[in-house]
Amino acid sequence: MEGGRLNALTHNFLVSKFRGYYLESSLDAPPSIASREWGFLFFDDSGMRRHKSFFSRGELVDYVRAMVPRHVYHSAAYYQRPGAPTMKEKLWQGADLIFDLDADHLRNAPKSYSEMLELVKKETQKLLGFLTADFGFSEKMISVAFSGGRGYHIHIRDPRIFTLGGDERREIVDYLTGRGLDIERLRFKVLISGDVGADKVRALRCPAENSPGWGGRFNEAVVRFAEEIRKLDEKSAVKRLTEIKGIGEVRAVEFYTRIKNDRVLDNIRTGNLDSIKGVQDIWKYVINNYLADQFVEVLGGETDEPVTADVRRLIRCPGSLHGGSGLRVTPLTLRDLEDFDPLQDAVVFGEEAVLLQILKPFKTQMRGVSYNLEEGATELPACVAVFLMARGVAEARTKH
């Protein structure tokens, strides 16, 4: 079991491998290290040791090399006395804004580890888009780290957010996830032209594609729906449209015929839903009975709210090893993220053969190789062996 007690041979093997890594590598310590609280979990399963503080990166590295922890954490918060034994005595000064994206929290996450990691990376990129475009955070104030497990951490170190409390941070999460979003304000509006009280011309509108915030994302959802319908043959498109409550077959055929026109798609991008003359009221049913339930789920950001709201949260230290996988908690720039492959780039151990006992059937991938393992004795590369032992699905063994 991940994080559980290990037998002596496995314990000694993992401690040896982790020690070797830390002797050759240095931690990517956060700024203002002397103001951070530190916490550690060890291979002996003795529980969290926290309330530690260090004056310098060198002091931290010396401690890690001597103690060889299984997990290394630092506080998102800054304290006057980070080593004090109680939270009250630490004297909180502020905290980074932290986002934790874990595949366990994603809707419909695939079971394959590699596919899971690919999905959570896409969600991380989507969330970063919110943070830079909607909130205006500078890339220089954002750092990203692969968690070493099933996701990514985003650290924002902008002085404007340091003193925000938990409630304010929850409001940020609400915005990112679309919670409480008033769809009525985004759907469409009826513009009446002519004299007061006249009802001669009705123009259906939605926000244009370049609109800020959720308005632009709503336009994206409408365009995406239109493009999906355009790609279908008529029979399939009509079937799809008539599955939406309020749309009949005759009008579905007409809608499909009109939306095949490229000019209509261009008009939608400008926010004009009125160019499908005669059947434009179909948008009401599409938006009310389909997109309203879909676009927040598809286009909203994913994050673990308790992590973001907790101003005293401990987060994994970049450069450390994840004790449940043996993978490196890898610091990344926003530009690094696109090409980053955790099952290649976060792997730190080599290919030397290791004898081990597989405790239960297990599938995984590592450095481009897929492993479909059955219970029993086997020999595998060190990078895979460490991963399996850390996950609790294998134990080290001797030759006899």
Per the annotation, the verdict on 134 as an active-site residue is no
Long-range contacts of 292-297 (CB under 8 A, 24+ apart): 292/183, 292/187, 294/221, 295/217, 295/218, 295/220, 295/221, 296/177, 296/178, 296/181, 297/107
Catalytic residue, from 304, 310, 339, 341: name it. Answer: 304
**Pair of tokens at residue 14:** 């993992």
Residue with tokens 């630490």: 90
Residue with tokens 């355009």: 230
**Pair of tokens at residue 249:** 């077959």
Provide φ and ψ at 25, rounded to 5°.
Answer: -125, 160
Catalytic residue, from 28, 96, 100, 266: name it. Answer: 100
How far is residue 23 CA from its own chain's centroid?
A: 31
Catalytic residue, from 28, 62, 96, 102: name it. Answer: 102
Task: Report whether 35 contacts 79 (CB < 8 A).
Answer: yes
Q: How far apart are CA 318 and CA 331, in angstroms?
A: 5
Q: How far apart are CA 175 and CA 160, in angstroms?
A: 18
Per the annotation, the verdict on 102 as an active-site residue is yes
Q: How far apart are CA 116 and CA 131, in angstroms?
A: 23
Per the annotation, the verdict on 62 as an active-site residue is no
Task: Report whether 125 contacts 111 (CB < 8 A).
Answer: no
- Positions marked catalytic: 100, 102, 304
